[in-house]
Structure 1
């Protein structure tokens, strides 16, 4: 059993305080803090519903820790916004987005896997935001939040391992010696004899497979409970896309005699009663769209085999098109909250033209 997470084990958030009279929030800080506020409220709504249904005590402790940390961060952000005369974002509110009386949608183990994915996404978000922050209080807040998320992620992985559901990346043989690339044939795929996959390529293929596995389960559950037809069809289309991406990545691993990660199809409980609003479900999928697009982009920039690069390129293009269509649905229903913008942009554009 993993260590119990208590409120006392969490460090207090650093006080919001400018380091100089003229040090306002930069555009990067405005953007990242706004995005963070929406992301925290989104996860808080999902986790609050999970807490109503989860039975496993270890998983419950992790969910409770996530909620406590989220509330502390929202409190810090609200105080910061008040001090800056910045309107507090609307985000996602539990009384608007969650039906706590809805039946269970996912099993406890799938809830744990979804929490792992949400925390993984936030780690990426915090690590990006912290290197773009210039104000000391913002940097300290983001650094502390990142440290807490990494700690939570490690605890989640420990629980997943103890329950036998952690998808460990494939093992490959250790190199016997250090080698250097001596020929352009290292980057050939279709021409000449194809070399084995490198550990870097295996890790990126596995990452794509793992991300699509959790997305597939979300699409299945959300498609079952979506109330609006366009949202339901969007989820069904996402299910088809994720299944196709899983097949592509699985075939790559199988061809190289490597194992594939587990499926979460059995973690979905049959229910037609929506626990979440259509807006929240679109927001949750939108977040994974962005993360998957980023994952494919990183993979495309680092893999050496041309055919792998082509795979990631076309999957990234398909993900981008799917994400764009989702944004159009969200805008069509008036659900998309505007981020902070440059003041007087329309006036500037008119002067330029």
Structure 2
């Protein structure tokens, strides 16, 4: 049990709550707009649950920060969304989007919980993980019921367990006799294909509606990067005669009326990039085949540069909110 005396929030606890405020304030804006442009009653129910989840997490994280006398980030508000803007994405896309964002939530909240001591913050993060799990399961069930869930590939596996006894198992960059990808490598490749397809469609729409030409160009560049990565990952599977996932009915309309502020668009893009960087790093560490491992490392370098370009756009427009940081004691001594 936590000690009776009042404990301050640690750096990691402040970071988790601060990020939750930012991310969920964006989520409230996005889901509010989606709800104004949805036809399918089942999809609408999932969107309502997603909105409620984001609103609750936003309120709870703000309350904990206030109780501990910490500043509340500005984040996003009604000024950053136009719910009455025309539809930009299909109902089916909403499901793929929510499924992906639920996965992001599970990852972010899980990492945060493992670095947290204070009981109130752990309780908040534990509930957030439970809500993200529930949201994922609800979305997965609906996708399955509609025949839209893109399953990872089925593969034939040997009957017996074996051990690697040859260094050639890792292969080489120029090796012609490379082994087929194992199930762990297939899992990560499949997941990254699907994530990039969802991100690509999102950026297609955002590139159409952003007000600033620089933001439009940035989203267009991200769309091309995602398209290229989908092709590279798909080739890894197809070279082993494994089908690549192809989500269906991901439709982007021809609307050019923006539902979101450019500030929100850039933040959303940044969140997707951060998720991709984390996914690629994890996949690289888990991939024993040299060519696959090296592909992730190469692509990480590309998206890190793309992310840096986005940060510069946000800084130039005063859109990048500065995370809390400790006092600069060296600077204070020279006042």
Q: Please tell me the TM-score bracket, short chain as reference.
A: over 0.9
Aligned to 2:183: 199
Alignment of 1:188-267 (within 5 A): 188-189=171-172, 190-191=174-175, 193-263=177-247, 266-267=250-251
Aligned to 2:80: 97
Give the TM-score of the pair, scaled to structure 2: 0.95
In the TM superposition, residue 146 of structure 1 has moved relative to its aligned partner by 0.4
Distance 1:130 1:239, change over 3 A: same
What is the rounded CA distance, in whole Å, between the counterparts of 2:291 and 2:329 in structure 1? 43
The Cα offsets for residues 161-194 of structure 1, whole Å up to 9 and x where unpaired, read as 1112211111111321111111111112334731
Q: Does 1:56 align with 2:56?
A: no
Give the TM-score of the pair, scaled to structure 1: 0.91
Query: What's the Cα RMSD here?
Result: 1.8
Aligned to 2:258: 274
8 Å CA contact 1:206, 1:260 repeated in 2? yes
Aligned to 1:107: 90
Runs of 4+ in 1 over 6 A off after TM superposition: 348-351
In the TM superposition, residue 346 of structure 1 has moved relative to its aligned partner by 5.1
Distance 1:303 1:84, change over 3 A: same
Q: Which runs of 5+ in 2 are unaligned?
A: none
What is the rounded CA distance, in whole Å, between the counterparts of 1:207 and 1:77 in structure 2? 30
Aligned to 2:26: 42
Q: Does 1:181 align with 2:164?
A: yes
Aligned to 1:117: 100
8 Å CA contact 1:19, 1:136 repeated in 2? no
Q: Does 1:172 align with 2:155?
A: yes
Aligned residue pairs total 334
Q: Which runs of 5+ in 1 are unaligned?
A: 1-17
8 Å CA contact 1:186, 1:195 repeated in 2? yes
In the TM superposition, residue 147 of structure 1 has moved relative to its aligned partner by 1.1
2:109 to 126, 130, 138: 126
8 Å CA contact 2:81, 2:260 repeated in 1? yes
The Cα offsets for residues 204-257 of structure 1, whole Å up to 9 and x where unpaired, read as 111111111011101110111111010000011111111111111111111111
The Cα offsets for residues 279-323 of structure 1, whole Å up to 9 and x where unpaired, read as 111111110100001111011111111111111111111010001
Distance 1:249 1:342, change over 3 A: same
What is the rounded CA distance, in whole Å, between the counterparts of 1:40 and 1:163 in structure 2? 28
Task: Give the SS at the match of 2:151.
Answer: coil
Distance 1:19 1:75, change over 3 A: farther
1:294 to 269, 278, 282: 278
2:312 to 328, 335, 342: 328
In the TM superposition, residue 265 of structure 1 has moved relative to its aligned partner by 7.3
